Amino acid sequence: MDIDTEQFYRRQVERNEYSRTSQPTPAEFFSIYSELSISCSSIISIHLSSDLSGTCQSARMAKDMLSGLDIEVVDSRMASRGLGLIALEAARAVAEDKTKSEIISAVKHMISGAELFFIVDNLDYLARGGRIGKAQAFLGTLLNIKPILFLKDGVVHPLEKAMVRTSAIDKLAQIIGEETGKSRIKCALVHGMDPDGVKQLHQKIMPLLDCDEIVFSTLGAVIGTHTGLGALGIAIIPE
């Protein structure tokens, strides 16, 4: 049975359900790469951080099975909209007829500066899924405290903690302002079924950022499995 994103989060809470995720298989990548090769001379395949998923490993195994094709598998060291922003910019570079080497260089530049800051209601989902990274240091100390985390170089790190959600949003906005200064950036806001929270964060960060357009999106079931209902964050990449 298929369910939509809202139903997925509701079942997490109402039924106390815990879902699991699994990366695509090498066979699935083999099929996609083979199909793409009919109309493409080169393939640039950008994926979720290898510290969070085995997706890159599956993609590389498929590449090895297709040694005659020009395939570049890229570990974004990012997740969610951090990965999305990088992929969008790579697609724009393709549309602008940039060479493969120019696109790869631009992607690597974005990866080196990409960050994802986020709030979760608790660390249970990250811990259960084995994606907690260095935020392990927060476990056992956060009873009814809202942790503020960030993803950098593919690993989740602890950053701050707040007593209530509104304070966490205020702190997150402050951190983002300090982190970016007035540097030109591209950014995206994400949330796990918390439109009011993302609206509050947007209002607080807008005066602090030099970003022409902010992309908004809801966290899907894959990331939501590891963050839980109410996660809220911002992805940033340098221009």
Q: Is the pLDDT of residue 141 over 60?
A: no
Q: Identify whether the C-beta of residue 9 lies closer than 8 Å to the C-beta of residue 218.
A: no
Q: Identify whether the C-beta of residue 154 lies closer than 8 Å to the C-beta of residue 78.
A: yes
pLDDT, greater one: 84 or 239: 84
94 HSE (CA, 13 A, CB side): 14
pTM above 0.85, yes or no: yes
| Model pLDDT, residue 146 | 84
Whole-angstrom CA distances from 105 to 65, 109, 237 are 25, 6, 14
Render pLDDT for 186-205 as a digit per residue (tens, 0 to 9).
999 999 999 999 999 999 99
pLDDT, greater one: 159 or 31: 31
Domains and CATH numbers, the chain: 26-112 (3.40.50.10170), 114-238 (3.30.1180.10)
The number of angstroms, rounded, from the C-alpha of 132 to the middle of its chain's C-alpha atoms is 14
Q: Is the pLDDT of residue 126 over 90?
A: no
Tokens (6 digits) for 75 = 């570990």
The three state secondary structure string of 63-122 is HHHCCCCCEEEEECCCCHHHHHHHHHHHHHHHHCCCCHHHHHHHHHHHHHHCEEEEECCC
Q: Which of 73-77, 116-120, 131-135 has the lowest mean pLDDT?
A: 131-135
Compute, in degrees rounded to 10, the torsion defined by CA atoms 120, 122, 127, 129: -60
Q: Identify whether the C-beta of residue 206 lies closer than 8 Å to the C-beta of residue 162.
A: no
Instruction: Please enumerate in sequence order all residues whose Cβ is within 8 A of that of 153, keeping only pairs 6 or more positions apart, or say none.
Output: 77
Render pLDDT for 39-72 as a digit per residue (tens, 0 to 9).
999 999 999 999 999 999 999 999 999 999 999 9
| Model pLDDT, residue 135 | 67
Instruction: Please enumerate in sequence order all residues whose Cβ is within 8 A of that of 41, keeping only pairs 6 or more positions apart, or say none.
Output: 70
The enclosing H or E element of 234 equals strand 232-238
State which of 175-179, 189-193, 227-231 shows the largest mean pLDDT.
Answer: 189-193
Mean pLDDT over 150-157 rounds to: 88
15 HSE (CA, 13 A, CB side): 9
